[in-house]
Chain A
Amino acid sequence: MSNNISTGITNTSAPLLKVTNLQVKLPVAAGTLNAVRGIDFEVQRGEMLCIVGESGCGKSMTSMALMGLLPQRANITASQLNFDGAELLSLTERQRSGLRGSRMAMIFQEPMTALNPAYTLGNQLCEVLRRHRKVSRQQAKERAIYLLGKVGISAAEERLDQYPHQLSGGLRQRIMIAMALMCEPDLIIADEPTTALDVTIQAQILRLLRDLQREFGTAIIFITHDLGVVARIADRVAVMYAGEIVETADTTTLFNAPQHPYTQGLINCIPTPGKTPPGSRLQAIPGVVPSLIGEVKGCAFRNRCSRAEERCTTAPALIQATQAHAVRCHFATSPVPSTAIPCEVLHESHQR
């Protein structure tokens, strides 16, 4: 590690990343957007944590806050934002950029915009490594070729002289993965890395990412809206809604015994071959996601929730259902039947 942050003695049993009460506020025209409203989570070494949620739930804001890529005007606070012993919010910008690309890397949804069209791939790959490590051009090139082979790109040496526009979307995303791995980071944040890809390519990229994660022991925060992807790739899942984590559990528990009505709704509203009879009505979640501008009072899901009652106007605390399963819902303590609660099918409401 050639960066200048003393991380102390690396304790392998401590979580790699510990986030406590992370809040992100953004000033917008109509007031303050409370994009992330106090979330807690941990990422263990070598773990694949999926953050799943719909657009505007704060999942991308969370990842940008972790990477330190949010605009200056964003107000980020946290009781703890601890990355391997270093408190991220107390680092200088110079120290943070020393971490970026080196110990924490990011893979974006749209590889075409994340790669610079003016430079060759080899140039961009080697640049990442040479910015953070004292290596020769030749050593950097060798590592690039090695990693291109790892991400399944044939004729790696020739590829290094190509420009991003000469590649297909799937290949570009492989390049992005190779680039993220250049410095052997401890943590990769992948923000919807397969959303822009075709389904057959998506399956290949997911396999690749999972295999590399196991091989290199990298922890990955995988951000997506697609529950199908989550089910296949995640070790643990955090479900976000309206800037909060409403449920966290290991993948099997989350899909087999979800407790939060939103998680249940999400799982039930996608047609599943074999379960939903073709042509039947789907169990839609009524209404729309609430606006996060201004203060949200009580449970943010209550106006779409079929179980909502009086006490939901007060904010529910995070309830530990089991040791590894936490739910932010007033109903979580009472035993919930394993069959999902049907959501009434209603037209989209017009709450503001």
Chain B
Amino acid sequence: MKATSVEPTPYALELCGLSKRFTLGGKMFSKKRALYAVSDVSLRVPRGQVMGLVGESGCGKSTLAKMLLGLTPPSEGDVLIQGKSITHSDQKTLARHVQPIFQDPYSSLNPRRRIGDIIALPLRLHTTLSSQERSQRVTAMLDLVGLPKRATQQYPGQLSGGQRQRVAIARALIMRPDLVICDEPTSALDVSVQAQILNLLLDLKEEFGLTYLFISHDLAVVEHLVDRLAVMYLGRIVEEGSREQIFAAPKHPYTQALLASALTPDPSLDIPDLGLGSVQPDPSRPPAGCAFHPRCPQSSPECRERRPSLPPVDLHGTGRVACHFA
């Protein structure tokens, strides 16, 4: 499965032992401390599938996304896209393969550029098309994401949140990347608009044969959209498996709590009691042993001392879980 293999890999994205370390402090009066935002993440995303990535704020999912986009270099490990390592490829080459869709459509579009210029930017950077050809491609793309042609002349401030997110999607997809990193693409949108954008993402995936890494904290949306799911807790993947496996029988206590905490609009159900206690995780001081043990309802002395390891990625893509009790 290395870049040297002749056969094209069936994976759009492979992460091998990926870590990101930040140094905290080290200024005049404080001691230096290492913070692992992401540690030892290995994951494979088959081409044409949607891989969900869930976890709470500070679990490292956004840092992971930044590394995949080449916005921050990994401290350890490697990222392979279509079987090729991105460590030595420049940002421009990487950009043709991976594109982001960010959470906040209010801040992801430059307020002082027209929509037409925003969507045409990838074409200007990566192609030698004439301005007329560019504007044809932009119009075609606008049509695909359901915006009228006249939007090219407008500024982001003149569009609604849903329309802006359509623009962000158009910009991400106009160069036909292989992999799209969707970082909470609907969480800043109203509920009634969220469904429009999710439908659009699903349609475009079919149309272009895209692979998505879909980062979200909304488990109902994740269950609707993904083929596989990875659950992160304090920088590590604690469980990974197919949608059916995880949603039908979550094995890690954290996954179980996450699934239980998803509130479906069913008035006959009560507010779930997760039994997690009121401790909140601090990424800069991860507990020894299993990082989840201070909140885990089943924790044992072993959990406090020894960190359970996640089995390596296997070829069959069966579920993996990092828990002593699984």
Contacts and interface: CB of A to CB of B under 8 A. Distances in A.
Interface stretch (B20-28, B186-194, B318-326): B186-194
Interface residues of A, number: 60
Interface core residue of A231, A252, A270, A348 (most chain B CB under 10 Å): A348
Interface in B231-249: 243, 247
A259 interface: no
B267 interface: yes
B149 to A, nearest CB: 11
A200 B296 CA distance: 12
Contacts of A154: 278
Contact of A199 (B163, B262, B266): B262
Contacts of B147: 348
B266 A285 contact: no
Interface in A266-304: 266-267, 269-273, 276, 278-286, 288-289, 304
Interface string A140-153: 00000000000011
B224 A285 contact: no
Interface string B241-268: 0010001000000000110111111111
Contact of A256 (B162, B260, B267, B278): B267
A201 B265 contact: no
B223 A273 contact: yes
Interface string B12-56: 000000000000000000000000000000000000000000001
Nearest to A226: B263
Nearest to A227: B265
Given A54-B190, A225-B190, A285-B195, A232 B271 contact: yes
A350 B147 CA distance: 9
Interface stretch (A34-42, A77-85, A168-176, A321-329): A168-176
B271 A206 contact: yes
Given A199-B262, A233-B271, A284 B224 contact: no
Contacts of B220: 228, 270-273
A280 to B, nearest CB: 8
B263 A284 contact: no
A256 B266 CA distance: 9
B278 A199 contact: no
A345 interface: yes
Interface string B270-287: 111110101010100000
A265 B192 contact: yes
A168 B247 CA distance: 29
Contacts of A23: none
B194 A281 contact: no
Contacts of A73: none
A273 B218 CA distance: 12
Given A207-B273, A348-B163, A284 B267 contact: no
A168 B295 CA distance: 15
Contacts of B224: 271, 273, 276, 278-280, 282
Contact of B263 (A171, A174, A203, A225): A203
A95 interface: no
How many B residues are at the interface, by size bracket?
35 or more
B223 A251 contact: no
A280 B206 CA distance: 12
Contacts of A288: 160, 162-163, 193
Contacts of B226: 278
A202 B267 CA distance: 17
Contacts of B273: 203, 207
Contacts of A279: 202, 224-225
B141 to A, nearest CB: 14
B32 to A, nearest CB: 22
B312 interface: no
B56 A345 contact: no
Contacts of A283: 195
Name, among B160, B190, B195, B196, the residue most crowded by chain A CB atoms within 10 Å (CB to CB). B195
Contact of A348 (B57, B162, B202): B162
Contact of A273 (B258, B264, B280): B264
B266 A282 contact: no
Interface in B265-318: 265-274, 276, 278, 280, 282
A201 B280 contact: yes
B166 A231 contact: no
B272 A203 contact: yes
Given A269-B195, A270-B265, A345-B199, A199 B190 contact: no
Nearest to A273: B223
A199 B219 contact: yes
Contacts of A226: 191, 263
B162, B163, B191: residue with the most chain A Cβ atoms closer than 10 Å: B191
A280 B163 CA distance: 22
B148 interface: yes
Contact of B261 (A202, A265, A282): A202
Contact of A284 (B163, B195, B223, B257): B195
Contacts of B56: 198-201
Contacts of A345: 199
Contacts of B111: none
Contacts of A200: 56, 257-258, 261, 274, 276
Interface of B: 56-57, 146-148, 160-163, 166, 190-196, 198-199, 202, 217, 219-221, 223-226, 243, 247, 257-258, 260-274, 276, 278, 280, 282
Given A169-B280, A199-B261, A225-B190, 14 more contacts: A204-B278, A226-B191, A231-B266, A231-B267, A231-B269, A233-B271, A269-B192, A271-B224, A280-B224, A282-B195, A284-B199, A285-B196, A345-B199, A347-B146
- Rank and list the top 10 A-B pairs by shortest CB-CB distance, nearest first: A228-B263, A271-B224, A347-B146, A284-B195, A198-B56, A282-B195, A269-B195, A54-B190, A285-B192, A168-B280
13 contacts: A54-B192, A55-B190, A152-B278, A199-B261, A203-B272, A270-B195, A272-B264, A278-B225, A280-B224, A281-B202, A284-B192, A284-B193, A348-B166
